[in-house]
Structure formats: C-alpha cells, structure tokens
C-alpha cells in the first residue's frame, strides 16, 4: 500500500497492511518563515517516513501580526 492508500483505508475502516503512523514536532528556529517551516517539516518527514504530515506552526502565528504575542 502507498501511504495515501493506507491512510484512506484506515479512515474507511478497511484492512491495512499496517497501522498508519505519524509524529511531529515544532521547529522554532524555522517557524517564522513559511518556506523554512515547509522545508524543515518535509525534511523531518522524509527522514522518518511517516504516513501523513501534520504542519506545526508556532502557536501564536494567527495573532502575532496583531501584536498579541
């Protein structure tokens, strides 16, 4: 199965070859730049071979420009 097939099958409650997995982390040294965050996230997932990606921007990204953090 491909990663996409595995995840979709699990969502559909169909048989899978193994349980889909992922884990993630924050990248505080890169999360202020969209490009740097994307590159760090893709490199992390390429290294660990996760089945799906969860993007983890800084927690205050939505309010930073308003001066709230």
Provide DSSP, 6-54: HHHHHHTT---SS---------TTTTTSHHHHHHHHHHHHHHHT-SS--
Give the per-residue pLDDT at 9.
Answer: 99
Give the per-residue pLDDT at 6.
Answer: 98
Q: Where are the domains of the chain?
A: 22-69
Residue 10 has pLDDT above 90, yes or no: yes
Q: For 47-54, what is the mean pLDDT?
A: 95
pLDDT band, very low/low/confident/very high, at 57 (cuts 50, 70, 90): confident
Q: Model pTM?
A: 0.74
């Amino acid at each position: 199965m491909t990663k996409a097939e595995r995840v979709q099958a699990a969502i559909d409650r169909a048989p899978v070859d193994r349980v889909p997995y992922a884990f993630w982390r924050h990248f505080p040294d890169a999360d202020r730049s969209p490009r740097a965050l994307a590159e760090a996230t893709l490199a992390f997932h390429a290294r660990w071979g996760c089945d799906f990606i969860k993007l983890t921007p800084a927690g205050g990204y939505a309010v930073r420009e308003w001066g709230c953090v």
